[in-house]
C-alpha cells in the first residue's frame, strides 16, 4: 500500500512538472479534459432526464393527489444541494476525478432505489431514493466546471457550453425513450413509470466509470500548480488583479443569476407534465415536450458560450431574464391542447435557463482561482439546488391553489429580477 501511494504521488509530480513546463501540453490537456467530460455528459444527461420526465407522475400515482406532485422535484433538488456541497469539497481536496466519480455513482444508486420503491409501493423509500438520485443532477452540473480549470478568461463560457452541448444527446434521448423503457419495465414486472429510472441507473454509473478511468491527470490539480507558479493562462490579466470585494461581488451576482433562473425553470417545468395529463395528453406527448425542453436547455450551449465570451456576462444575463418572461407568458396563454405552443413555451424556458446558467457560471469562474474554486462552486450549486427545491415544492401547491397559468406568469415576472442584479454587478467594477 505504501509503495502504491508513493508511486501515485510520483506520477502526480511528473504530471505537474510536465504540464507546468509546456503551454502546448496545457492546451492539449485542456482539450482532452473537455473531451472526457463531454463523453460523460452524454450519459449524465440521460440519467437526469428520467426524473424530470416522470418523477412528478410517479409521485402523483403513488400518492393519489396532485398537491404533492412537486415533491419529487423538491427532494431531487434538495438531494442535489447536499451532493453539490459534497462533490465540491471532494473535488477541492482530491481533484475533479474523485468528486465527480462519487457523485455520479451515488446518482446511480438513487435511481436503483426509486425502482425498488415503485416495485414495493413504498413512498418513504421513494422519497429517500430521490434525495440520493439528486446526486447525479448535482454532479452533472458540476462537471461543467471541470472544462474551465485550464481555460483562459476568453475560453471559460465556451468551455462550459461545450460540455453542456454533449449533455443534450442523452438528455433529449431520455424523455423520448419513456415508452420504450416503460415497456421494458413492464416486461420485468416493474411499474411502467419506473422504467426510465432503469436507464438513469445505467447512465449515471457509466458516466462515473468514464470519469474514474479517463480523467487523468486531474485538471484542477494542474490548474492549482500553474497558479502557484504564476503560469495560469488568462486572456484578460485585469481579471487576475481584482480586489477581494470585486471578486465577492462577482460571486454574488453569478450565484443570484443562476438561482433565479433555476427557480423559474424548475417551477414551470415540474408542473407541465401534470398540466398536460389533466388535458388529455399521453405519456408519449409529455416525453416529447420535455425532450424539446431539455434540448433547449443544452443544445444552444455552444453558441451561448461564444456569445457570453464575446458580448459579456451581463448582456446575456439580461437576455436570460427576457427569454424566461416570454416562456412564462406563452405557457400561461397557450391553449392546453396545443402541443406546438407548449413546445415553444418549454423551449423558451430551457433557453432562458441556458443563458442564465452559462453567464452566471462564467462570472463565478472569473471571480475565483484554483485554490478555492471547487469549494466555492460547490457552495454556489447548493444555493441553486435549494432554490430549485423550493420552486419544485411550491409549484404543485400554487397550481393546486390557483392554476398553471398563474404559476407561469409569476415565474416570468420573477425572472425580471435579473435586470437589477446585472445593474448592481456592473457598478464600480469593470464590465463583464
Residue 403 clears pLDDT 60, i.e. is over it:
yes
Residue 241 clears pLDDT 60, i.e. is over it:
no
Q: What's residue 52's pLDDT? A: 66
Q: Which of 13-17, 220-224, 237-241, 271-275 has the lowest mean pLDDT?
A: 237-241
Per the document, the length of the chain is 432
Element (H, E) at 33: helix 23-63
User: How would residue 71 be classed by pLDDT, with cut points 50, 70 and 90?
Assistant: confident
Q: Which of 46-55, 96-105, 144-153, 240-249 has the lowest mean pLDDT?
A: 240-249
Share of the chain above pLDDT 70, in %: 85
Q: What's residue 104's pLDDT? A: 96
Q: What's residue 262's pLDDT? A: 92
User: How would residue 65 be classed by pLDDT, with cut points 50, 70 and 90?
Assistant: low
Q: What's residue 5's pLDDT? A: 44
pLDDT digits (tens, 9 = 90+) for 332-365: 998 888 889 999 999 999 999 999 999 998 899 8
Q: Which residues of 131-150 are buried (b: 16+ CB within 10 A; e: fewer)?
A: bbbbbbbbbbbbbbbbbbbb
Question: What would the DSSP string read from start to end of 310-375?
Answer: HH-HHHHHHHHHHHHHHHHHHHHHS-TT-HHHHHHHHHHHHHHHHHHHHHHHHHHHHT--TTTHHH
Q: Which residue has the higher pLDDT, 355 or 60?
A: 355
Q: Which residue has the higher pLDDT, 123 or 231?
A: 123
pLDDT digits (tens, 9 = 90+) for 301-326: 878 888 998 898 899 999 999 999 99
| CA-derived radius of gyration, the chain | 21
Share of the chain above pLDDT 90, in %: 28
Domain architecture of the chain: domains with CATH: 9-426 (1.20.1250.20)
Residue 235 clears pLDDT 50, i.e. is over it:
no
Q: What's residue 344's pLDDT? A: 95
Q: What's residue 68's pLDDT? A: 67
User: Residues 251, 381: contact at Cβ < 8 Å?
Assistant: no
pLDDT digits (tens, 9 = 90+) for 84-113: 889 989 998 888 999 999 999 999 999 999
Q: What's residue 260's pLDDT? A: 94
State the chain's mean pLDDT as an integer. 82
What is the C-alpha separation between 293 and 424, in angstroms, rounded? 31
Q: Which of 152-161, 183-192, 408-417 has the lowest mean pLDDT?
A: 152-161
Amino acid at each position: 500500500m505504501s509503495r502504491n501511494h508513493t508511486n501515485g504521488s510520483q506520477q502526480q509530480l511528473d504530471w505537474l512538472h510536465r504540464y507546468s513546463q509546456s503551454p502546448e501540453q496545457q492546451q492539449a490537456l485542456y482539450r482532452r479534459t473537455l473531451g472526457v467530460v463531454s463523453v460523460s455528459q452524454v450519459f449524465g444527461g440521460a440519467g437526469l432526464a428520467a426524473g424530470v420526465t416522470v418523477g412528478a407522475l410517479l409521485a402523483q400515482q403513488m400518492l393519489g393527489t396532485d398537491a404533492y406532485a412537486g415533491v419529487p422535484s423538491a427532494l431531487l433538488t434538495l438531494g442535489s444541494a447536499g451532493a453539490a456541497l459534497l462533490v465540491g469539497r471532494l473535488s477541492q481536496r482530491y481533484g475533479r476525478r474523485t468528486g465527480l466519480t462519487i457523485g455520479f455513482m451515488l446518482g446511480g444508486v438513487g435511481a436503483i432505489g426509486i425502482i425498488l420503491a415503485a416495485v414495493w409501493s413504498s413512498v418513504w423509500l421513494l422519497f429517500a431514493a430521490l434525495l440520493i438520485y439528486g446526486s447525479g443532477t448535482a454532479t452533472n452540473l458540476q462537471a461543467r466546471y471541470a472544462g474551465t480549470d485550464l481555460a483562459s478568461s476568453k475560453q471559460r463560457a465556451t468551455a462550459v457550453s461545450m460540455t453542456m452541448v454533449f449533455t443534450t444527446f442523452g438528455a433529449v434521448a431520455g424523455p423520448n425513450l419513456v415508452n420504450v423503457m416503460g415497456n421494458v419495465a413492464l416486461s420485468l414486472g416493474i411499474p411502467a413509470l419506473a422504467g426510465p429510472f432503469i436507464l438513469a441507473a445505467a447512465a449515471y454509473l457509466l458516466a462515473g466509470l468514464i470519469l474514474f478511468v479517463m480523467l487523468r491527470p486531474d485538471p484542477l490539480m494542474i490548474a492549482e500548480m500553474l497558479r502557484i507558479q504564476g503560469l495560469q493562462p488568462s486572456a484578460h490579466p485585469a481579471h487576475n488583479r481584482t480586489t477581494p470585494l470585486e471578486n465577492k461581488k462577482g460571486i454574488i451576482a453569478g450565484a443570484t443569476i443562476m438561482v433565479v433562473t433555476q427557480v423559474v425553470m424548475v417551477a414551470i417545468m415540474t408542473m407541465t407534465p401534470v398540466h398536460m395529463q389533466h388535458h388529455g395528453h399521453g405519456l408519449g406527448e409529455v416525453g416529447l415536450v420535455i425532450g424539446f425542453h431539455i434540448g433547449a436547455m443544452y443544445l444552444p450551449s455552444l453558441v451561448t458560450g461564444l456569445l457570453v465570451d464575446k458580448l459579456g456576462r451581463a448582456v446575456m444575463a439580461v437576455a436570460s431574464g427576457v427569454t424566461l418572461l416570454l416562456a412564462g407568458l406563452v405557457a400561461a396563454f397557450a391553449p392546453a391542447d396545443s402541443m406546438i405552443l407548449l413546445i415553444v413555451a418549454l423551449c423558451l424556458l430551457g433557453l432562458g435557463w441556458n443563458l442564465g446558467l452559462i453567464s452566471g457560471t462564467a462570472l463565478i469562474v472569473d471571480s475565483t482561482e484554483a485554490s478555492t474554486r471547487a469549494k466555492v462552486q460547490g457552495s454556489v450549486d447548493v444555493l441553486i439546488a435549494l432554490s430549485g427545491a423550493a420552486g419544485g415544492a411550491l409549484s404543485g401547491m400554487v397550481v393546486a391553489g390557483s392554476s398553471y397559468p398563474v404559476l407561469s406568469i409569476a415565474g416570468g415576472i420573477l425572472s425580471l429580477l435579473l435586470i437589477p442584479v446585472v445593474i448592481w454587478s456592473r457598478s464600480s467594477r469593470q464590465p463583464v
